[in-house]
């Protein structure tokens, strides 16, 4: 695991048609495989996320503060610029540097393109960090009010305690020796689990490692959220099934300790917890197998703590639901897309319904 954490990306820049850079990303601490990162055939094959919670918060706050200003700074661009400056490492100075970059942009004397023109790593970090963060900030409607800000949520509902630490890469032995490619949040059985980002349910059911689990794909296809070890006998929110569309903040399931068994509905995990993981997918060949990209979500989880969804119990049932309704334009766009696809071979009147 120390080797994995030591992986660095060294990029050699060239120019592609349209001004896009060609970057060879070297994987490994000394030797590795060069991978062309382009928009037409090749794709990123390794991403490390070392952005601190403090850096995420600073970049986000600057984005929101300037939303209606003449110069609206983009939080992902700020983070990518800082990563390009430091080789992807963030420390106590990063917050100050991010703020300084934003001040230069807000002053109107320069642009991000000008600031990063000599940073050969910038395009790589921009694409990688966009893949991680792109669904998390934007405009949406909350309780009938149009707002701009963080529309991603902590995976644990508001009012429910949990503990956690950075356990990404720690060893696992069930079935075979492997690193832990997710983030564990320890709590109580039945704690409501929240959809971090809007998307559609791609996987639902039993997995011998994750027990009762849910896999939710972002609408752009770049992010796969994995929620595992859900409650025995009652793991999912009522009505949830493969293909269901969920809005960020929805209750999707309940914490438990199922898994580590080929037999369904077995509690073989000692500690009650949610395992959640974030997989990046630049090409569908990366979805399963040896080319999977999972990122360390500890700092991201700390950042998302600022947006915990309030829930309420439904009568005497085991169900919980969100208190404040939210409308995400990404969900609306996805539903329109599905409807248009369904209407493709039908009369024009179908589109007017």
Q: What is the pLDDT of residues 19-41, one digit of tens each?
A: 333 333 322 222 222 233 444 45
Question: Is the Cα torsion angle 176, 180, 181, 186 positive or negative in sign?
Answer: positive
Between residues 342 and 293, the one the model is more confident about: 293
Q: Using one digit for the tens of pLDDT, what is the confidence trace for 156-202?
A: 999 999 999 988 777 676 666 668 789 999 999 999 999 999 999 99
Question: Is the Cα torsion angle 343, 214, 246, 62 positive or negative in sign?
Answer: negative
Decide if pLDDT at 17 tops 50. Answer: no
Q: What angle, rounded to 10 degrees, do the helices at 94-106 and 75-86 form?
A: 120
The partner residues of 186 in beta bridges, in order of sequence, read: 163, 273
Mean pLDDT, range 193-215, rounded to an integer: 97
Decide if pLDDT at 12 tops 70. Answer: no
Predicted structure pTM score: 0.85
Band of the pLDDT at 289, cuts 50, 70, 90? confident
Between residues 77 and 351, the one the model is more confident about: 77
What are phi and psi for residue 95, nearest 5 degrees?
Answer: -60, -45
Q: Pick from 123, 154, 122: which is nearest to 136 by CA?
A: 154
Average pLDDT across the chain, whole number: 86
Q: Pick from 186, 193, 197: which is nearest to 157 by CA?
A: 193
Q: Using one digit for the tens of pLDDT, what is the confidence trace for 100-145?
A: 999 999 999 999 999 999 999 999 999 999 999 999 999 999 989 9
Decide if pLDDT at 349 tops 90. Answer: no
Distance CA 317, CA 322 (A): 15
In this structure, which topology does domain 171-335 adopt according to CATH?
A: Glucose Permease (Domain IIA) (2.70.70)
Domain ranges of the chain: 2-133, 171-335
Residue 66 has a pLDDT of 98
Torsion of CA 120, 121, 124, 128, to 10 degrees: -160
């Amino acid at each position: 695991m120390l080797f994995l954490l030591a992986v660095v990306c060294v990029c050699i820049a060239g120019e592609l048609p349209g001004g896009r850079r060609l970057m060879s990303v070297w994987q490994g601490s000394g030797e590795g495989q060069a991978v062309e990162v382009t928009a037409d055939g090749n794709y990123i094959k390794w991403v490390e996320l070392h952005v601190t919670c403090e850096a995420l918060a600073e970049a986000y706050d600057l984005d929101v503060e300037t939303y209606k200003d003449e110069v609206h700074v983009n939080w992902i661009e700020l983070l990518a610029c800082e990563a390009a400056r430091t080789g992807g490492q963030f420390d106590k100075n990063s917050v100050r540097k991010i703020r300084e970059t934003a001040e230069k942009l807000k002053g109107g004397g320069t642009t991000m393109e000008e600031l990063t023109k000599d940073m050969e790593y910038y395009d790589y970090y921009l694409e990688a960090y966009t893949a991680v963060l792109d669904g998390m900030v934007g405009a949406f409607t909350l309780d009938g009010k149009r707002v701009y800000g963080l529309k991603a949520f902590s995976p644990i509902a508001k009012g429910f305690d949990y503990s956690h630490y950075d356990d990404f890469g720690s060893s696992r032995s069930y079935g075979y020796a492997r690193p832990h490619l997710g983030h564990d949040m320890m709590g109580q059985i039945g704690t409501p689990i929240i959809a971090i980002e809007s998307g559609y349910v791609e996987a639902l059911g039993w997995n011998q490692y994750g027990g009762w689990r849910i896999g939710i794909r972002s609408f752009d296809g770049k992010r796969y959220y994995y929620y595992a070890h859900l409650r025995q006998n009652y793991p999912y929110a009522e009505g949830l099934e493969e293909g269901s569309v969920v809005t960020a903040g929805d209750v999707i399931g309940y914490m438990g300790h199922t898994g580590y068994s080929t037999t369904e509905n077995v509690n073989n995990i000692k500690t009650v917890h949610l395992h959640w993981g974030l997989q990046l997918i630049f090409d569908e060949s990366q979805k399963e197998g040896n080319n999977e990209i999972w990122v360390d979500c500890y700092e991201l989880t700390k950042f998302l703590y600022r947006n915990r969804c309030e829930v309420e119990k439904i009568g005497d049932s085991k169900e919980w639901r969100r208190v404040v309704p939210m409308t995400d334009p990404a969900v609306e766009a996805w539903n329109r897309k599905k409807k248009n696809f369904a209407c493709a071979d039908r009369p024009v009147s179908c589109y007017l319904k």
